[in-house]
Structure 1
Amino acid sequence: MTDTLASPSPSSASRSAKSEVAELIRTVVAGLAIALAFRVVLFQPFTIPSSSMEPGLVVGDYIIVSKFAYGWSRASLPFNPPLPAGRVLGRAPKRGDVVVFRLPRDPSQTWIKRVIGLPGDRIQVRGGQVLVNDTPLSQTPMTIVQDHDDPYRQVLEVRERQPDGRSYVTYDGGTGQAGDDTDIYVVPEGRYFMMGDNRDNSLDSRWPRELGVGLLPAENIVGKAELVLTSWKPAAAAYKPWTWLNLQWDRFIQPIR
């Protein structure tokens, strides 16, 4: 017996091709929807553009931000849509958390700082030392180093410790710097006092919102910075393929403290 190969008609071949294209489109759309939902609801990547959070975060770090850590607000959504204020399943940040937020004076900008003061706290900086409710945060001087992003600038690494034992390293550029001595700020309900770890190179809650951050509204919070996934040297750029492997290899998979 001779096997006979089926020879589909042109019309059936056309229907098959259309079916495959439609299936491909459905798969792509479903994949994009899942990726968008993951980005909107759970995690979102950001790239660090400035030196204000050195030494923990440096220019070129590609970080992952958890949106469910504090619940969701309009700031958590793309384009900051004009939804009612407040947070859904809101949970309060803790002192010492590193937080990504929309800048109050320009919500199209996302900034990153550390939570220093919670609602009801009294915050003051005196001689470069932070006082929370009149109690100085413990500071331990470490080593004089070159600024990671400015090798011509020397800074002192200082380990700062929260009352619950959490610690992180800050940069101190010396005495008499702007922001080393402030008034007392009383943080109202629904607001947070934010500071950069690069204390003498950070516009934050020590300055009014017209210049820095002011006291940050809770609804402006996007999420909690959790992880440095990878890091590119500042000269790298998406439109320069030859720089894509210009990586800071020692900064892969680093938890944000």
Structure 2
Amino acid sequence: MAGKAKSEGGILETVKTVFWALVIAGIFRTLFFQPFWIPSESMKDTLLIGDFLFVNKMAYGYSKYSCPFALCPISGRIFASEPERGDVVVFRHPGNGSDFIKRLIGLPGDTVQMKAGILYINGQEVPQRPDGIFEEVFEPQGPMRNRPACQNGAVGEGAMCQKSRAIETLPNGVKHSVLNIRDNGPGDNTEVFTVPPDHYFFMGDNRDNSADSRFSVAAGGVGMLPAEYLIGRADRIIFSSAGSRMWYFWTWRADRFFKAVE
């Protein structure tokens, strides 16, 4: 009987340990970091399909989208610090409710415009420096098995898909790469957007393949994003899988382990 009681006590302790481990993990995920797996090519070549990262939910404080429990506000943010131009940010899409990741380009009060594929902020051209060619194999990518768009035309399966790359320098000195697929694409020439108070303007680094703030929510884009939709900042890639499932370890990209998001 004593042995049976001891065995039952050991099982109970194991269950309690697992329970509290799950509770702590849930709190950690809710309040501090959220995992995010890159599903699309809108942020290439900064982020590739299959990059796995943790989103820093403390970077901008908490809102109803970064902290859904009752301890968080119904609207607005608490303990907020201001996002900075050039941050790579995860946010809740205001139309379909999914999580998006883009680069912060326009702050409240800014004007933003694209002319002939060049970004203008507050009437000033944002300089770009050519930086060679981004190459990848034309083949299905990620769980959605989408094939990349190529600047060098319709290439065959297994051929090299190319995009022009440039280094863009934002007004605050942040440098990041941008890709170009075609000239005079749908987002290459826009009206002048004025960012309202408590809103932000986002763009993808893969400029010709990104549904972002250049397009309205009704047109499938993001529009001007209210601050309360921010979830957090992407700081570092944990690992990256080139396969259709992230646990296919033989497809992991060794050069992207713990790579900083720039």
Superposition TM-score, scaled by structure 2 size: 0.87
Structure 2 stretches of 5 or more lacking a match?
A: 142-147, 156-160
Q: 4+ runs of 1 displaced by more than 4 Å?
A: 78-83
AA paired with 2:261? I
* 2:193 match: 185
* 1:77 match: 67
Kindly indicate whether residue 205 of structure 2 is the aligned counterpart of residue 215 of structure 1.
no
The CA distance in 2 between the partners of 1:234 and 1:50, in whole Å, is 13
* 2:244 match: 235
- Structure 1 pair 237/80, CA: closer, same or farther in 2 (3 Å)? farther
Kindly indicate whether residue 169 of structure 2 is the aligned counterpart of residue 161 of structure 1.
yes
The CA distance in 2 between the partners of 1:133 and 1:190, in whole Å, is 17
- Structure 1 pair 219/63, CA: closer, same or farther in 2 (3 Å)? same
The CA distance in 2 between the partners of 1:147 and 1:82, in whole Å, is 43
The offset of 1:64, in angstroms, is 1.5
Alignment of 1:1-257 (within 5 A): 10=1, 12-77=2-67, 84-107=74-97, 109-147=98-136, 150=148, 152=155, 153-210=161-218, 211-236=220-245, 243-257=248-262
AA paired with 2:51? D
C-alpha RMSD of the superposition: 2.0
The offset of 1:77, in angstroms, is 3.0
Say which SS state the counterpart of residue 23 (structure 1) adopts: helix
Deviating more after overlay: 69-78 vs 150-159: 150-159
Kept in 1, the 8 Å contact 2:45–2:206? The answer is yes
The CA distance in 2 between the partners of 1:79 and 1:196, in whole Å, is 30
* 2:144 match: none
- Structure 1 pair 229/222, CA: closer, same or farther in 2 (3 Å)? same
Kept in 2, the 8 Å contact 1:74–1:81? The answer is no
The offset of 1:21, in angstroms, is 1.7
Structure 1 stretches of 5 or more lacking a match?
A: 1-9
- Structure 1 pair 64/129, CA: closer, same or farther in 2 (3 Å)? same
Which of the pair has more CA radius of gyration? Answer: 1
The percentage of counterpart residues that share the same residue type is 38
The offset of 1:200, in angstroms, is 0.3
* 1:7 match: none
- Structure 1 pair 103/80, CA: closer, same or farther in 2 (3 Å)? farther
